Amino acid sequence: RKEVEQDPGPFNVPEGATVAFNCTYSNSASQSFFWYRQDCRKEPKLLMSVYSSGNEDGRFTAQLNRASQYISLLIRDSKLSDSATYLCVVDSWGKFQFGAGTQVVVTP
């Protein structure tokens, strides 16, 4: 079983709609959680960190559920520019494990 698992998608989302997806992790001792975004053939870039109480950054909302060991990302009012692969990242004492990514395609 992979340490970090994501639904690969693709999630096809009409512009302006809301999309949400999860990521599960296996190491209960994990400390930090992130969502990174990766555009095609580009390096990943930090989208947002995920805090225990949940957090928002504009149209993006991240949640952490430690009991069930998953994190989620919700994108509201989707823009065409949101089309990308979203990588779930879990940090366990400096060892960062990346999920394989969830592809989101926003269509006009």
Partner 1 sequence: GAGVSQSPSNKVTEKGKDVELRCDPISGHTALYWYRQSLGQGLEFLIYFQGNSAPDKSGLPSDRFSAERTGGSVSTLTIQRTQQEDSAVYLCASSPLLLATIYNEQFFGPGTRLTVL
Q: Which residues of this protein are in contact with partner 1, per CB under 8 A? A: 6, 31-32, 34, 42-46, 49, 87, 91, 93-101
Residue 38's contacts (CB-CB under 8 Å, 6 or more residues apart) are 44, 45, 84, 85, 86, 87, 101
Q: 42 vs 79, which CB is nearer to partner 1?
A: 42
Place of tokens 């509201």: 76
* Least gap, CB of 17 to partner 1 (angstroms): 26
Q: 23 vs 106, which CB is nearer to partner 1?
A: 23
* Least gap, CB of 82 to partner 1 (angstroms): 19
* Least gap, CB of 98 to partner 1 (angstroms): 4
Which tokens belong to 13?
């989302």
Q: 22 vs 76, which CB is nearer to partner 1?
A: 22
Reduced to 3 states (helix: H, G, I; strand: E, B; else coil), residue 80 is helix
| Strands 11-14 vs 102-107: parallel, antiparallel or unpaired | parallel
